[in-house]
Structures are given as structure tokens and as C-alpha cells.
Amino acid sequence: MTSKSEMQCDASQGALRLAEELAHRFRSVRETTCSLAEPLSAEDCAVQSMPDASPTKWHLAHTTWFFETFILAAQNSEFLPLAPSFSAVFNSYYNSVGEQYPRAQRGLLTRPDLPTVLEYRTAVDEAILQGLESGSFRLDQLGIVELGIHHEQQHQELILTDVLHLLSQNPLYPAYRSDLPGAEPCEVPALHWYPGAEGIQSVGHSGLNFGFDNEGPRHKILLHPHEIGSRLVNNQEFRDFIDDDGYKRPELWLAEGWALKEEQGWEAPLYWIEGEGAWQHFSLAGLGALIPSEPVSHISYFEADAYAKWSDARLPLEGEWELTAHTPQAEDNLLESGIYCPTGVASAFSSAAAFTNATSTTAASTTATSTTAARITARPSQLFGDVWEWTSSAYQAYPGYRAGPGALGEYNGKFMANQYVLRGGSCVTPRQHIRSTYRNFFPAHARWQWSGLRLARDV
């Protein structure tokens, strides 16, 4: 029988190993964030292009404030913040912690300047690493360090998302980086259909390893017979929708989406620019020709839903998507790929060898109206990376969900209203951050994220 002292020793050794692992991950993630900001000027880092975006300088400071507030200050009641005034400007939405500076006015914060923010990061990094390497953090505090690492990875994606929108406002259409490889045209296989799981199924995070609170608890759902599209919808297919007056046919649109489209003059996805009879596309690599094989991105839920109706299909439920997805693959286009834009179909579906017992489908992949579905045994491609995939599921709590105690309980739960779930990550999502249970969420009108769609249909 294991003694109490032996169990305590094992727990202590486990905490030390976890602290060592977290120190490595913490250092790597913090360095990655700074490297994403490196191509930007101080002016780039200070400007806010719209209320939903934030300046890069603010992201750099807020993620630092998170570690200082929820680790360093929480560990020691006598801890003195490195810059007490920073809390008022770099607290995002934690009402339990104190007041927040208005989100839409973050671009007015010219002070502290960028060098001061970087010094702030260095000082907090040193304090966190000292605690990790000395083994002075409790196990519950190590859990918050891990949460902070994933929180920072969310902001890495937001930095690139917000920078893209910022640079798009400049009529010179400058590139974030001139050396980005960009997407290359490729041959896209016809859309096939994957039979989805049916009946009573379990979804949600199991509780093993890290997961945000909104990913659980694991629970049962009922799924009706359905099929999932073998790949993402691409630019050429979405252009066919536009050419068929998709933006001019109210019968395809939800009423709120139609009113918003009319009010804001939507005629194509965000960052599509029409000139001299051809569509161009603005990306982090600058302005270039629209690549037909690239997955369509920067569309709202309303646009994704309208396209699905035009295709005689629908958007997947988030449970349907999750039970299809499994785990990310080496070929998935995520942040570490270094492309920073969606690309063509993953290699797993680039040849007929990927299909088993498949029956012939029509070539009309743009409309997904074929009544003869190809039954495939391999999973669909592009389930992770490239673009976040809109689902038809409202963002709400799973059965049995309870927000955590204290200020960190505000992280996800209080946003469970008037938003839709997106799955799968994008071309700027860190690989270690994404998993099949991950639930992203945005309001239906949002277009500035790398958001696209995959079709589903009932059978």
C-alpha cells in the first residue's frame, strides 16, 4: 500500500515536472508573440482600425497584465504591480478585477509607448520564469499559467487578424511581411460527401489535458443521419455564388443578414477588391490576384448560411463537426506553417487513392446538389487550419456547465448569448492551441476573422 508521504512525494515530483514543462512552453509562446510584432513599426502597433480590433501594443501589454494579475499578484498578497496604472488600461473585460478602458478607444492609448510595454513584458517574464524554475508555484497556480499560455495564443491569432484589418485601410495596401510565401493555385477535387456519426453520441472535452471551461462537460447528443462535405468551400465556388446574384437574392438570406448586407453594401467577402474585370484579394502578403482554389475566408455567418442555402445544403452542427474531426494532422495549415493565409486542399485528398469504395459524383461541386453521394472512409480534409468553420450552432453552455469561481470565471461563460460557434482553427491558429473540442465564437455579422465554411446536408 502506498503511504501518504509517498503520495505527497509523487505529487510534488509531478508538480516540478509540470513546472519545468510550462517554463519551456511559456518562454516559447512569449517569444512567438514578440516575433509576430517584430515586422511592425511603432505606429503600426499603436493604431486601432475598428472597435472590434485592438492595437498590437495593447495585445502585448494585456497578455502580460494577465500573468501579472492572475499569477504574481494572486500568489502574494504583498505583491506590488510593476505599473499599478496599467490595470486600468490593459484589463480587457474582467469586471471582478476593476474598471476597464473602453475597448473602442484603445487606439488612443499612445502612452505607455512600445518600448515601455516591451520592458513590462520582460519584467513579468522574469518573475514568472523564476517562480516556475524555483518550484514556488502551487499546482492550482500552474493551472493558471497554462491557461495564460493558451490565452496568449489566442492573442497571437488576434494580432495577425487585427493587423490585416489595419493594413487593409491603407490605400497603398502594404504587406505585413514582403517575404510571405502566400498560397499557390492548385487543383481542387470535386466535392464528395462523408457520412457523419448518427444516433446518441458523446461530445465535449473529457477533462484530460488542457481545455477551456466552455468545452465541457462531456455529454450526450442525438445526431440524425447527415453528411459532411469532404473539403472547404473555395473562392471559385463562392464567386459562382456571387455571379448567380447570391448577394441580390433575399430568399437566400436571413432577415437580419439581408438588412445588414444592404446597410453596409456587402457584395463579396471582406478583402475582395474588384477592379478591371477581375477580383483581387488583400492578405498579409499584400494585394494580389484572387486564387480560385484558396478556401473562401472573411465571411460572416450570414454569408456562409446564404451560400449553403444556394447550394441546397446547410452548415454543420458543431457536434457533427466534432465527431468528424478527430485530431490535427501534420499537413494542416496552421500558424507554424508560416504561410499566414488559407491554402488549397490538404494532400490527403489530392488523389483518388484517398477514397475507398467511392461512387461517382457529378462535377457540380459548386452547388453540392448531387443526389448521389460518394461514401468515403477517410476523413474529410482541411478540418483543422486554413479557416475557422461556421457552424449552425448557437454558442451556449453545455448541459452541466458551471463557470469557475472568481474573476477567471468571466473568461468564457458570460459571452454565451447572440453568438455562433466556429470550429477547427485557421491559418494563424497555433498548432498546440487547437483540438477537436475547441469552441470559438463570434456574432453572426463578424467578417474580420479568417472564417469560412464547410457544407453539410441531411440524408
Go through the chain and tell me how many residues it has. 459
| Residue 49 CB-half CA count within 13 A | 18
246 and 252 in contact (C-beta within 8 Å)? yes
Cite the residue boundaries of each domain of the chain with CATH code 1.20.120: 4-168
Q: Can you name the CATH fold of 193-458?
A: paralog of FGE (formylglycine-generating enzyme) (3.90.1580)
Digit-by-digit pLDDT tens for the chain (459 residues) are: 555 554 355 456 778 899 999 999 999 999 999 999 999 999 999 999 999 999 999 999 999 999 999 999 987 777 777 888 899 899 999 999 889 999 999 999 999 999 999 999 999 999 999 999 999 999 999 999 999 999 999 999 999 999 999 999 999 999 999 999 877 899 999 999 999 999 999 999 999 999 999 999 999 999 999 999 999 999 999 999 999 999 999 999 999 999 999 999 999 999 999 987 899 999 999 999 999 999 999 999 999 999 999 999 999 999 999 999 989 999 999 999 999 999 987 543 333 333 333 333 333 333 443 333 334 346 799 999 999 999 999 999 999 999 988 889 999 989 999 999 999 999 999 999 999 999 999 999 999 999 999 999 999
Q: What is the CA radius of gyration of the chain?
A: 23
Domain range 4-168, CATH architecture:
Up-down Bundle (1.20)
What does the DSSP assignment read for 41-109? -HHHHH---STT---HHHHHHHHHHHHIIIIIIHH-TT---SSTTHHHHH--S-TTT-----GGGGGG-
Question: Which residues are 279's β-sheet partners?
Answer: 274
Cite the residue boundaries of each domain of the chain with CATH code 3.90.1580.10: 193-458
C-alpha grid cell for residue 189? 477535387
Compute the 3-state secondary structure of the chain and give helix, strand, coil in percent, each to the nearest 5.
40, 10, 45
Q: What is the C-alpha to C-alpha distance for residues 85 and 104, in angstroms, rounded to an integer? A: 19
Find, among 229, 202, 230, 232, the residue nearest to 218 by Cα: 202
Find, among 132, 112, 164, 105, the residue nearest to 30 by Cα: 132
3-state secondary structure 339-380: CCCCCCCCHHHCCHHHCCCCCCCCCCCCCCCCCCCCCCCCCC
pTM of the shown model? 0.91
Q: What is the C-alpha to C-alpha distance for residues 433 and 97, in angstroms, rounded to an integer? A: 26
Here the contacts of 143-149 (C-beta below 8 Å, separation 24 or greater) are 144/70, 144/71, 144/74, 144/408, 145/22, 145/26, 145/67, 145/71, 146/22, 146/25, 146/210, 147/210, 147/408, 147/411, 148/26, 148/63, 148/66, 148/67, 148/70, 148/71, 149/22, 149/25, 149/26, 149/29
